[in-house]
Structure 1
Amino acid sequence: MENYFYDFLNQISEEFTRTLRELENAIYNSPRSMLTHSRTFIETLLEKVMIHENMENEPYLTIIERIQDLDESGLLTDEVKNSLHEVRKLGNKAAHDTRQFRFSESLTAWEHIYIIVKWFVEVYGSHDIEVPEYVDPVMRRDHSYDLEEMNFRFQKIEELLKQAVQNEQPKQVSVDSHNLNAKSTNDADSETGGPVEKQEVSLSETMDKAPGLIPIRTISYGNDGVEVPYFLRDTFLLPQRFENSERFLVRLGGVEEARIMSELPERLDGFHNRIVRYNETHSEVFFSELKNFINEEIRRRKLMQNRPGELFLFYKSEEIVVTEELGKIEINKENFTGMPGLIDQLNEDGIKFVRDLPKELVILGKYKGVGTSRVESFFNQLKEKQVSKIEELV
């Protein structure tokens, strides 16, 4: 690793340094992830302090109980106590609330974490450690992790944090009561104007397109056409996404046609002739649904770009945000009623929690005995559980 702001923490805990690096990487890439996992960081730090102070440190203690215990023992300053509560509250909101979280919120938590870490080092670290002045993190555009990779990295980091706490020892009466230098040995890691004006307008509109949205081709039917953006050039045409053309697409796929966007011809007039027993209506309906598919994919892309680091479950033109609390809900017959066959088949495939579900829920219709109405019912129950989680937070 290159030199990092919190490298001075390596003398106390390499796990802390690595965790803080991951949290900083998530500030701009995924504010929700940063806020949620910040709770785990301060909880581990509080555990270390409680172990060192020979205080009761049962695993069932909540963060707020740990803060209260330390405060009652006179171990926290008002500033540190306030910062601990702010990080805790922001983390709780990020774990439950479906709204979009702002960079300003993750930056606020980051400043509070600095106050907490500075206190921890000054009170429990070596006197030789000098904590530098706070510096705002820089938004890096050269590299960012996608949500799955980020969550995987946080999972590994938090495993290391848990191991570090297990190796923690209470302070020795005969030595400096404020020294936690024992390090863990675990490694982490329009259509107006003439031809010239029209061309200029078209060029301007193209240049104004966001990356990935620049049209690369047009697919037509009759006098109508739809532009295919760059990011969809080779996208898979999932038959279940085309409600009235599902069988049509399945049949086309059987003869190696229309499996991906790039396999579609420039014009869809007469496209049905590539398989038997279909007529022009099927080509027309497919074109109509293709337009809807492209528009929906553009909407989803913009949604995910505007809300980086969020995990969504999509169903037709709707979506729900999978918060940490929603993701932990178990998929069983008690939580989701009226569909035992679907639940059994999901569990058999290793899908046991909401977080394990595929992002595109229409594919659940592939399971035996599961139709559109069953999938829609499942999605509606997911929405109800999301609402109930929000109400619990309130």
Structure 2
Amino acid sequence: MARELENSIYSSPRTMLTHARTFAEAILQQAMRVEEINDTPLMTLKERIDLLSDKGYLTKEIIDALHFIRMSGNKAAHDTRKFRYSEALLSWEALYTIVQWYVEVYGPIELNIPEYQDPVPNSGNGFEIAELEARLKNMEKLIKASLNQQQEGTAKEEAATVTVEEAPQEAELPGFTSIRTITYKGKFLEVPYFLRDAFLLPQRFEKSERFLVKLGAEQQARIMSELPRDLEDLHKHVKRYNEKNDENLFEELIIYIKEETERRKTMLNRPGELFLFYKEDYVIVTEELSKVPLTTDEFTGSPSLFRQLNQDQIETVGQLPRELVILAKYENVGVGTVEKLFEQLKERQGD
């Protein structure tokens, strides 16, 4: 969670200030557990500070740091004014003071605490504010669940520890945080943040293409965020479709998200490259390949496709849409024709 807070300092000072309270509160809850002080879920951060202070467990420096984080977080949660980077940095330094105290009092004796350093802005971070919020809220839930389970027994404590340690590793790259869950008859599908408003191109769904076209005409399922939380009975929005169509769409969404996730990883690992995608495969368009004209002299296949592309001023490979399956929209052009063009592009790339 500290990593997520650090990510948000320069992206959204308000987010950092708001969620720093939960981080500080979790440390106090852990201290109360070690000291066997009675704690209740309804206890506020201020009440925990006052209780530990009255019992002599906190120094003035730690009390001041805790109250600074608490009050800064309260302002950020309610005040609409613009918050400065300097305010987030002060809160971050206060968190360092609290963590240092906790480790020195309750941590391993041999552990050395590094000196405080201001975080450096990371221009390549790429996390948007809404995604940071989702990541921090997820961390807060995990921490609270862990603390509650630790109080219930050793077995649950071990399980909670695994959950909290492993979960953050699932979404290190920007955009991969799960933003919502779609279900169908007991099955679950996690939607990553970068696909939250993705256009559901019907041609990407072989079994559900006509179903999506019909739903789109009813202003349903055009983009990912329009999909209901539960896909059961989605077919009732259109005539002459049934539960099998709901099931097919759910299964194809699993494939779609998997393919899109792999595509995004590829693009993040190779920034600045131009890609042409077909299903789970892709071609990297070099400068030389981008200049190849789209004609029957260069590619065997459908003259009709090239004629229609040229009419739309798409005359070279570099002007093709990134999603090649879109080409199937043209008259007398099927998926087979698009696949054949893609295979020829791969051969050209190899050459």
Cα distance change on mapping 1:301 and 1:287 into 2, 3 Å: same
Q: Which amino acid aligns with 1:376?
A: E
Structure 1 counterpart of 2:226: 263
Residues 1:226 and 2:189 are matched in the alignment: yes
Counterpart check, 1:378 vs 2:341: yes
Inter-partner Cα distance in structure 2 for 1:373 and 1:233: 30
Report the TM-score, using the length of structure 2 for normalisation.
0.54
2:180 aligns with 217
TM-fit CA distance, 1:207: 2.2
Unaligned residue ranges in structure 2 (runs of 5+): 1-120, 127-153
Q: Is the 8 A contact 1:330 1:353 kept in 2?
A: yes
Which position in structure 1 is the counterpart of 2:262? Answer: 299
Aligned-pair CA distance for 1:311: 1.0
- Relative to structure 1, the CA distance from residue 363 to residue 203 in structure 2 (aligned partners, 3 Å threshold; closer, same or farther) is farther
* Deviations 1:64-89 (CA, angstroms, capped at 9, x unpaired): xxxxxxxxxxxxxxxxxxxxxxxxxx
SS at match of 1:244: coil
* Counterpart position of 1:328: 291
Question: Residue 346 of structure 1 aligns to a residue in which SS?
Answer: helix
1:207 aligns with 2:207: no
Question: Is 1:142 equivalent to 2:126 in the alignment?
Answer: no
Answer whether contact 1:331 1:343 (CA < 8 A) is retained. yes
3-state SS of 2:182 partner: strand
Could you tell me which amino acid in structure 1 is paired with residue 282 of structure 2?
Answer: E
Deviation at 1:142, TM superposition (A): 2.7
Structure 2 equivalent of residue 272 of structure 1: 235
Identity across the alignment (%): 52
Give me the CA root mean square deviation.
2.3
Residue equivalent to 2:211: 248
Question: Where does residue 391 of structure 1 map in the other structure?
Answer: none
Cα distance in 1 between the residues matched to 2:164 and 2:208:
34
1:317 equivalent in alignment to 2:298: no
Q: Distance in 2 between matches of 1:202 and 1:298?
A: 23
* Unpaired runs of at least 5, structure 1: 1-139, 146-192, 389-394
How far has the Cα of 1:362 moved from its partner?
Answer: 0.2
Contact 1:206/1:215 (<8 A) preserved: no
Shift of 1:338: 2.4
Q: 2:332 maps to which residue?
A: 369
Q: What is the CA distance between 1:357 and its match in structure 2?
A: 0.5
What SS class does the counterpart of residue 299 from structure 1 fall into?
helix
Alpha-carbon distance in 2 for matches of 1:222, 1:144: 37
CA shift digits 1:355-387 (9 cap, x unpaired): 000000000000000001111111111112112
After TM superposition, where is structure 1 displaced by more than 2 Å over at least 4 residues in a row?
140-145, 193-208
Deviations 1:32-86 (A, max 9, x none): xxxxxxxxxxxxxxxxxxxxxxxxxxxxxxxxxxxxxxxxxxxxxxxxxxxxxxx
Contact 1:234 1:261 in 2 (8 A): yes
Letter in 2 for 1:274: H
Q: CA deviation at 1:333?
A: 1.4
Seen in structure 2, the aligned counterparts of structure 1 residues 341 and 280 have a Cα distance that, compared at 3 Å, is same
1:197 to 1:252, Cα distance in 2 relative to 1, 3 A? farther
TM-score between the two structures when normalised by the length of structure 1: 0.49
Equivalent residue pairs, number: 203
- The residue type paired with residue 183 of structure 2 is S
Partner of 1:236: 199
- Per-residue CA deviation, residues 267-319 of structure 1 (Å, 9 max, x unaligned), is 11121111110011100000000011011111111111111111110001110
- Conserved 8 A contact 1:206-1:214: no
Cα 1:252–1:219 shift into 2, 3 Å? same
Distance 1:201 1:340 in 2: 58
Secondary structure of the structure 1 residue equivalent to 2:245: helix
Query: Aligned with 1:226: secondary structure?
Result: strand
